[in-house]
Amino acid sequence: MTPRSKSNWRLFLMGFVLPGFLVWLVYYAFVSCFFLQIFRFTGSRAEFTREFFDSHLSATYPPIDLVVLGDSTAKSALNPLSMNYLFGINLALNGGTALSSYHLLERYLRDHPKPKCVLYVSQYNWNRNYAYFFDRIVNQRSLGFRELFAIWRFGYQHGIYPRTELTTLSFFLSSLRYYFYVGELPLNLIQKAIGRNLIARQAKWEANSRQMIINRGFQNNELRRVQPEHKFMNPELHAAYLAPFSANITEDFYIGALIERTEKLGIKLLWAMLPLADSDHYVAAEVHQRERDIHVLRMMQNRPHVIQVPMPTKFPRKYYFDFTHMVPEGAVALQPYFDPSLREHCASGG
């Protein structure tokens, strides 16, 4: 390399690369770290799972009998503290899928003895949940890079998500971007930081986060406003119920993977499809629900270690804050449906 080319490279590094890196470093340190850690903006979607894996919290627990996996409906429907006959944790996620559940179980098993039971609870996660993969799963750091690489490898080998939607480059670039909050937060955080209700909002999120840790993952929706009737059936959130059921190849693959993995390890796999709110909207959703339940039952049946927890198809409207998510009183009312199966297969000393 000639002296002139060395000089050009030095100019490029000192004049462009280094300043760019310093700008990014200041951005990351100030915006990402300061706003996230001090003001805890991610607390608006408090994730017990993040706390469980990223701290020494789990080391304080006795042996765990039951791990609950699934989506946000599971977070609001199962409080481990209500199961006094076993020790359980609720690792269900907002925007969770069978994909995230499988890889969360793998992450759990790396550092913890296998539980007696895994309880998988969901509404059968629709395609829209996979659209939330980066901002609700990667951004919340529920999965590590080891799991993200495994997700890419499974997708490439089996022709499922992310291969069905993303190139390898876009998957890993998006993973890095959301994991490190690159280019994602400033306007959003600054807007919230100067809002009138910052103190109240911060206190609410911190209370939600503390409550989830105390309850081992149960999402206490007393801190969330019950939806008025005109918003009870959210068109974006619940639109799938208004159309015929359509299977998702990625969801089906990972349900099968959960079955195979738990069977290999000698873990009981319990599963339940939660009831919908008994409201004016139920009639329109009933056909979808019935087709979905038949489809899932077909995958789960004839496996000795897989146990279905019988559930009603609908439940009183007063126990919900929207069409699928429960208020705390709903979890209390639903618990007797879980108790017989959990006592028989998962109870401590059983």
For 102-156, how does the pLDDT look when each residue is reduced to its tens digit (9 = 90+)? 999 999 999 899 999 999 998 887 777 888 899 888 888 889 899 999 999 999 9
pLDDT number for residue 186: 46
Q: How far apart are CA 138 and CA 136, in angstroms?
A: 6
pLDDT number for residue 38: 41
Residue ranges of the chain with per-residue pLDDT less than 70 = 1-17, 24-46, 183-205, 223-225, 349-350
Q: How far apart are CA 342 and CA 321, in angstroms?
A: 26
State the amino acid at position 322 in one-letter form: D
Residues 288/239, Cβ–Cβ less than 8 Å:
no
pLDDT number for residue 227: 75
DSSP annotation string for 274-325: PPEEESTTHHHHHHHHHHHHHHHHHHHTT-TTEEE----SEEEGGGBSSSS-
Q: Is the dihedral of CA 118, 272, 241, 326 positive or negative?
A: negative
pLDDT number for residue 89: 96
Q: How far apart are CA 296 and CA 288, in angstroms?
A: 12
pLDDT number for residue 187: 45
Residues 134/178, Cβ–Cβ less than 8 Å:
yes
Q: Which of 74, 81, 86, 120 is nearest to 330 (CA)?
A: 74
Nearby residues of 114 by Cβ (< 8 Å), 6 or more positions away: 265, 266, 267
Residues 92/70, Cβ–Cβ less than 8 Å:
yes
H or E segment and range at residue 70:
strand 66-70
